[in-house]
Structure 1
Amino acid sequence: MSSTRVLILGVLLDRPLHGYEVRKTLELWGAQHWANVAFGSIYHALGKMAQEGLLEVIESGEGAGPGGGRGRTVYAITPDGRAEFDRRLREHWSEIMPIVDPFQVALTFMDRLPKADLLSAVRERTERLRAGFASFERARDAKRAADAPRHVDECLVLSAAEYRAQLEWLERAIARIERDDIP
């Protein structure tokens, strides 16, 4: 089960919601920054998990909603969904997976770039990481303003720490590249 599905089940633990509310909750939490959530996949996942018996539709989205628009489908977690969430949550705590980052592929072939191009690429990545920090701060501020759960901050704190570690490596790498220490 993907992390997105676990997040959806977790969001539905407290009360039934329609897909838009699930999406807005995950956006509020900043899940796009730390869980690689594709927000468009939420609606598909909700329908699929309902077919699998992990969720139940308690209000159908068919027919006209308020103001003549399409109604929204409301989902509730089932006992099987709770059991699946609990099982997968425990697995997620113990599962260690490599972080797959295309940057490490680029590092493998850094010796194939002329020094000036390599320095340019490293400096550009450094600026992107700094912009990422700013994005994390904006997400944390928005989350606080909306009274989102404080524990979700920890996901943003961990992501920022990963960015910081890479940024520190890049800053040291610039000096080493300039001295011809690498590659």
Structure 2
Amino acid sequence: MYPSSVLLALLALLGACTSQVPAVTEPRDRKAGNEHTSGASPLPVQSIRYGRYTLVSTEPSAEQRDLLAQIIDVSIPPALNPTVQDAMRHVLQRSGYSLCPINARLKVLFTRPLPAVHYRLGPLALRNALEVLAGPAWQLLADDVGRAVCFRQLSLDNGSASPATPLQPEARP
């Protein structure tokens, strides 16, 4: 009697291992901006089996939709003796974005030496890393069509984004 119950339990376990789980579908979240204007029912979100025990969504992640939201963790090589512009280029590598062309106003920001505290950034969102590198006097402007980032100097009086005359650095003896 004992061997037959063991055999029965073994067959039950083997049968459970070979069963197939169909793809799971869930309705899309209407609050996430996936509303249909035609009044049609929402498309299902597909989850597929990935490996033995894992179900994964086939929807793109937030970082894939908004490239500036991707999380980065970078160290700027000190051997570069980097400027702010060098650090921004390094941070933007493989992000899909580039820096806008330099002009006279941006030269004030881009030619500054990189502060030591900025040699290590992350983990944080790419947008936040660029804002940290630029500092509080600059507003980040993103061109999502051309995938370029630029900065506009904030005025000193009210913090609004408008060109301001840069302060001259102190003359060093």
Report the TM-score, using the length of structure 1 for normalisation: 0.23
Compare relative contact order (CA 8 Å, sep 6+) and give the higher one, 1 or 2: 1
| Between structures 1 and 2, the one with greater strand share | 2
| Between structures 1 and 2, the one with greater helix share | 1
